[in-house]
Chains A and B, each alone.
Chain A
Amino acid sequence: MARQTASIQKAEASIYSYWFLVPAFFIFVIFFVIPTAISLYFSMTVWSFDSSTFCGFDNYKMFFSEYALTIGIKNTFIYAFLTSGSKVVLAFLIAVFLTGKIRTRNVLRSIVFFPNLVSTVAVGIAFKAILHPTKGYINQFINLFGLSSVDWLGNRSLALFSVAAVDIWKGLSIATVIYVAGIASIDHSYYEASSIDGASRWQTLRYVTIPLTAASRNTVIILSLIGGLRSFELIWTMTAGGPGFASDVMPSIIYKQYTQGFFGLSTAGNVILLVMISIVIFPLQKLLSKSEEAMR
């Protein structure tokens, strides 16, 4: 870079014109950046689309004082960390299995990858029936062992975790894809070296596969955390935040406030969600990329 002369820079500027950036960034700025910027103002107002009255931090104060709203902040964090953590571990185990020496590898991969293509609403409908309090087959299976049925989605202390379990089921698929790609890109010479050194399977996993999939793992952690913090569709189709507010998360609260006409409050929820994601993701990203560097 340093030895580039002025004339090359000039040629570069004319081949790689900034005009190529314009269409993408025009759309991105108009339909994404500007609404995000003005949400800061509207979150401090009482407004309908036609008129707005400034009210300072009232909406935010309400978010941190009303139980029906604060529970959303708590649930969002629980949901995100629980689903993300489970996906990081389970998907890794599945991926190790799917990259191992098994005959029917491709069929099994297809089965595991398919949920990627099924819509979240369809998954929600299917699992709502599967988790039905009396007739669902999970409960019928439990009954076989003489245990009594569980109201997976109707029980206040369980609902959030039941939805989280279904979220893990659906999300395992993409997380596994990411790990499989990571494991497949590990150079075979590492495995040959470890087998020459007489490493056991566990040692190979511990000292070769786990460190060398750090990049994939970090991708899974970041993507699943962002996805978990923004999760709406599954919760909305399975419990709609209920029973009561027991499984409400920020995005479902944002939607509820909107349908009830509290636009300012809803927008404040949006800004709070943005802050929640930032305070989790930014430091984590720094930390993860630092540890990734250290491993090399």
Chain B
Amino acid sequence: MKMKKRNPGSLAAEIIGWIVAVSLFVLPFLFVAFNSLKDRRGANKLNFTPPDVFHWENYVEVIRNNRYQILTAFKNSAEITFFSLIVLVGCSAMAGYIIQRRRTRVTAAANKLLLVGLMVPVSILPTIWLLRSLNIYKTLFSMVMIESALNLPFTIMLYRGFMDTIPTELEEAAWIDGCNKWAVFSRIIFPLLKPVTSTVIILNAVTIFNDFTNPLYFYPSNANVTVQLTIYNYISQFQSSYNLLFADVILITLPMLLLFIIFNKRIISGMVSGAVKG
């Protein structure tokens, strides 16, 4: 990187880049944020002006709406995300480890199955039928299992890809020193997988927390409602009060925005390394 000379063209390009980035990606966000802080009449004009008076009470109102439904929703979504992540990390790390280390017909077939799983859409009604037959339809358990099953192929691929970079000497030495196969995995391999585990957690947490379709089908009814279903239901409820609808949008985006600001480097490098292997 010794050629650091700057030509006048690059400054112009940079300014154009900023104009495009701001108008495409920042303005929509500002528009929603501004209108979430106006009163009802002001917000319904859908104008692109900052609010004259900041109506923070909009946020109090959407939090209190339907007996604090949004808080219940946050709790439900957090539970689904948390338990799915545990299942995904545990199962995928083990599977990715074996598929990469052992090249046999069994692992080749397992790998093929996962590749097909990456593209095949969920068979929705047969899945509901199966869950009903097992008496686990509309339960937290089944929702966790489904989110796990759907995200397993991609997650195993990430772990398998990362295993390529870990030399086999360590586990061979541990094996010769008398570690059993579980100890080799849990004490030697799993700690070495830490970088890809954080990528896996970031990518899956976002996917599962933001998922709308699967809870819509597999986790309906009011008590189980998740964040994305709640916000979807508010579209009709707050049809004529954009201030409240937008306050809701900001409310569900805020946690992600905060995480993004705090862990910016980690998240971006996580996405980038996930992208390389994906």
Instruction: Name A's B-contacting residues (CB within 8 A).
Output: 1, 11-18, 20-21, 23-25, 27-28, 30-36, 38-39, 42, 49, 97, 100-104, 108-122, 125-127, 129-130, 132, 135-137, 140, 169, 174, 177-178, 180-182, 184-185, 188, 195, 216, 219, 223, 226, 230, 232-233, 237, 251, 254-255, 258, 263, 266-267, 270-271, 273-274, 277-278, 281
Are A121 and B212 CB-contacts (below 8 A) given A130-B28, A277-B121? yes
Residue of B nearest to A140 (CB): B48
From B46, B121, B129, B260, A129 is in contact (CB under 8 Å) with B46
A232–B121 Cα gap in the complex (Å)?
Answer: 11
Q: Which parts of B171-220 form the interface with A (CB within 8 Å)?
A: 171, 175, 181, 184-185, 206, 209-210, 212-213, 216-217
A39–B267 Cα gap in the complex (Å)?
Answer: 38
**Best-surrounded residue of B10, B14, B184, B235 (most CB of chain A within 10 A):** B14
- B residues within 8 A CB of A25? 95, 110, 113
B110: min CB distance to chain A, Å: 6
In the complex, the answer to whether A31 meets B123 with C-beta atoms within 8 Å is no
B164: min CB distance to chain A, Å: 14
A152–B97 Cα gap in the complex (Å)?
Answer: 49
- A residues within 8 A CB of B271? 113, 116, 174, 177
Instruction: Name B's A-contacting residues (CB within 8 A).
Output: 1, 3-4, 6, 10, 13-14, 17-18, 21-22, 24-26, 28-29, 31-32, 35, 45-48, 87, 90-92, 94-95, 97-99, 101-103, 106-107, 110, 113-114, 117-130, 132, 145-146, 148-150, 152-153, 156, 171, 175, 181, 184-185, 206, 209-210, 212-213, 216-217, 227-228, 231-232, 235, 242, 245-246, 249, 252-253, 256-257, 259-260, 264, 267-268, 271-273, 275-276, 278
From A13, A16, A281, B119 is in contact (CB under 8 Å) with A281
A86: min CB distance to chain B, Å: 13
- B residues within 8 A CB of A101? 4, 6, 10
- A residues within 8 A CB of B1? 188
- B residues within 8 A CB of A17? 98, 181
- A residues within 8 A CB of B228? 119, 121
In the complex, the answer to whether A32 meets B275 with C-beta atoms within 8 Å is no
- B residues within 8 A CB of A135? 45-47
From B4, B130, B278, A35 is in contact (CB under 8 Å) with B130
Are A14 and B91 CB-contacts (below 8 A) given A35-B122, A122-B231? no
In the complex, the answer to whether B121 meets A230 with C-beta atoms within 8 Å is yes
Are A20 and B130 CB-contacts (below 8 A) given A15-B181, A108-B17, A119-B210? no
In the complex, the answer to whether A42 meets B125 with C-beta atoms within 8 Å is yes
From B13, B117, B213, B242, A28 is in contact (CB under 8 Å) with B117
In the complex, the answer to whether A267 meets B123 with C-beta atoms within 8 Å is yes
In the complex, the answer to whether B17 meets A177 with C-beta atoms within 8 Å is no
In the complex, the answer to whether B212 meets A137 with C-beta atoms within 8 Å is no
Are A277 and B126 CB-contacts (below 8 A) given A15-B181, A111-B25? no
Are A185 and B276 CB-contacts (below 8 A) given A100-B10, A119-B252, A121-B231? yes
**Best-surrounded residue of A116, A120, A180, A278 (most CB of chain B within 10 A):** A116
In the complex, the answer to whether A110 meets B206 with C-beta atoms within 8 Å is no
- A residues within 8 A CB of B232? 121, 237
- A109-B268, A120-B212, A125-B246 known, 14 other contacts, Cβ within 8 Å: A12-B102, A16-B102, A20-B98, A27-B152, A30-B145, A101-B10, A110-B268, A112-B21, A115-B25, A180-B272, A195-B3, A226-B119, A255-B216, A277-B119
17 sampled A-B residue pairs with Cβ under 8 A? A1-B103, A27-B148, A35-B126, A35-B130, A38-B126, A38-B130, A39-B126, A42-B125, A49-B132, A101-B6, A119-B231, A121-B231, A125-B235, A135-B45, A180-B272, A255-B216, A255-B217
